[in-house]
Amino acid sequence: MDFKLTEEQQMLQETAARLVRDAYTFDKREKFSASETGFSPEFWQQMGELGLTAIPFPEELGGFGGTGVENMLIMQELGRGICLEPYMESVILAGGLITQLGSDSQKEELLGAIATGELQAAVALDEPSSHYLLNDVQTTAKQDGSKWSLSGRKAVVIGGHTAGKILVSARTAGDVRDEKGISLFIVDPSTTGVSRRDYATVDGRKGCELFLDNAQGELLGQAGDAYTAINYQAGRAIAALCAEAIGAMEVACDMTLDYLKQRKQFGVPIGKFQALQHRMVDMRTELEQATSMTILAACVADEADDVERSRTLNAAKFLVNRSARKVAEEAIQLHGGIAMTWEYSCAHYAKRLVMISHQLGDDDHHLEAYAKLMSVA
């Protein structure tokens, strides 16, 4: 197979790389993380001006008709800078759900604003007891005429603290873990009955717990039929997370190799020691395996939903999760004590890699899902 990028894809990657390189030094990232928003609104605006936030959307909706490969290229560069902006949550996941389920008026109202960066959206799919199961929904929605009111609690809504719109999954029928009966709603966080508890995550990002008490929501798609779309778009988001992990892993490997070349013991660089050379090779091997699976995931992310697509995405997330944690742990070990200092960026790359390995399912979750799909096949 030919894995060479087209000229347009190379230009896209170079644009994203240049933006991150120029605007996202580690010192600036620390200031962004400590700010009220937890990221850089200026950087988000720049992404919109360069068209990066419009890449995945169809051309008729104001986008560039990008695929999972284009998403991969952008997310990889954001991973290199361990950027804090909720690009995956707003553009890929929320934007994908609106594209798949939204009415013409909803698409016209929301996607154009997301594509230009004017609107930052978030997605509230997880609950305190759901443990990666997107069909475990206890939040409820009740209809009163043409209006819907939502009640419940959503957990770990990354970017939800600053989002202008939040897409919330709620149960309109069925039992707690039934796939049928799950609906998706557009919620304005400023509306009555919505409250948020904001907090920082371990990797420097920010999110919130979302509390709903008879809050008004606008139905997205058909009532009770949202799970298929949620599961499909979560697959696209998983492919994007794998790409972000690859970018962060590459930097962690490069930093570790540079350190082994510079740090001296017994009058020689520690990179001369064969045992450390073997561990560095192991890190690179993990990176290469994860990169191959990420490319495969990006290629199938936008394909029709079937068992083979699901298996591939489960396998990719499982392998990338394992590799991300391995690279993070080895980078810390080979650096020694300096890797744990707050002022040194290696620890922040390691923390982001560990967080990615839990977002949208850890390796145990995806291994179990893969096994179930193998029995179906």
Domain count, the chain: 3
Range of the domain at 104: 7-118
| Domain-ending residue, one of 68, 99, 118 | 118
| 149 phi, psi to nearest 5 deg | -120, 135
Do 100 and 128 lie in a common domain? Answer: no
Do 242 and 296 lie in a common domain? Answer: yes
For 10-48, the pLDDT digits (tens) are 999 999 999 999 999 999 999 999 999 999 999 999 999
Do 296 and 354 lie in a common domain? Answer: yes
Please, what is the end-to-end C-alpha distance for the chain in angstroms?
Answer: 25
Indicate which CATH number applies to the domain containing 166: 2.40.110.10
- pTM for the structure as a whole: 0.95
Indicate which CATH number applies to the domain containing 15: 1.10.540.10
DSSP code for 88: I
Do 27 and 49 lie in a common domain? Answer: yes
Do 237 and 359 lie in a common domain? Answer: yes
Do 267 and 322 lie in a common domain? Answer: yes
| Domain-ending residue, one of 174, 193, 227 | 227
Residue 244 lies in a domain: yes
Do 311 and 254 lie in a common domain? Answer: yes
Residue 1 lies in a domain: no
**β-sheet bridge partners, residue 123:** 167
Q: Are 150 and 185 in contact (CB under 8 A)?
A: yes
Do 312 and 331 lie in a common domain? Answer: yes
| Domain-ending residue, one of 118, 151, 175 | 118
Task: Check residue 284 and give its pLDDT.
Answer: 96
Sort 289 into a burial class: Cβ within 10 Å, 0-12 / 13-18 / 19+.
middle
Do 210 and 313 lie in a common domain? Answer: no
For 248-262, the pLDDT digits (tens) are 999 999 999 999 999
Cα 69 to its chain centre, rounded Å, is: 15
pLDDT tens, per residue, the chain with 377 residues:
567 899 999 999 999 999 999 999 999 999 999 999 999 999 999 999 999 999 999 988 888 999 999 999 999 999 999 999 999 999 999 999 999 999 999 999 999 999 999 999 999 999 999 999 999 999 999 998 889 999 999 999 999 999 999 999 999 999 989 999 999 999 999 999 999 999 999 999 999 999 999 999 999 999 999 999 999 999 999 999 999 999 999 999 999 999 999 988 888 888 888 999 999 999 999 999 999 999 999 999 999 999 999 999 999 999 999 999 999 999 999 998 788 888 899 999 999 999 999 999 999 999 999 999 987 65
Do 237 and 365 lie in a common domain? Answer: yes
Residue 73 lies in a domain: yes
Residue 345 lies in a domain: yes
Do 291 and 358 lie in a common domain? Answer: yes
Sort 228 into a burial class: Cβ within 10 Å, 0-12 / 13-18 / 19+.
middle
Indicate which CATH number applies to the domain containing 298: 1.20.140.10
- 181 by DSSP, 3-state: which? coil
- Rounded to whole angstroms, the Cα distance separating 126 from 131 reads 8
Do 269 and 297 lie in a common domain? Answer: yes
User: What residues have CB less than 8 Å from 247, skipping those under 6 apart?
Assistant: 75, 76, 77, 78, 79, 80, 81
Q: Are 182 and 151 in contact (CB under 8 A)?
A: no
Residue 2 lies in a domain: no
Residue 266 lies in a domain: yes
Helix (H), strand (E) at residue 283: helix 274-300
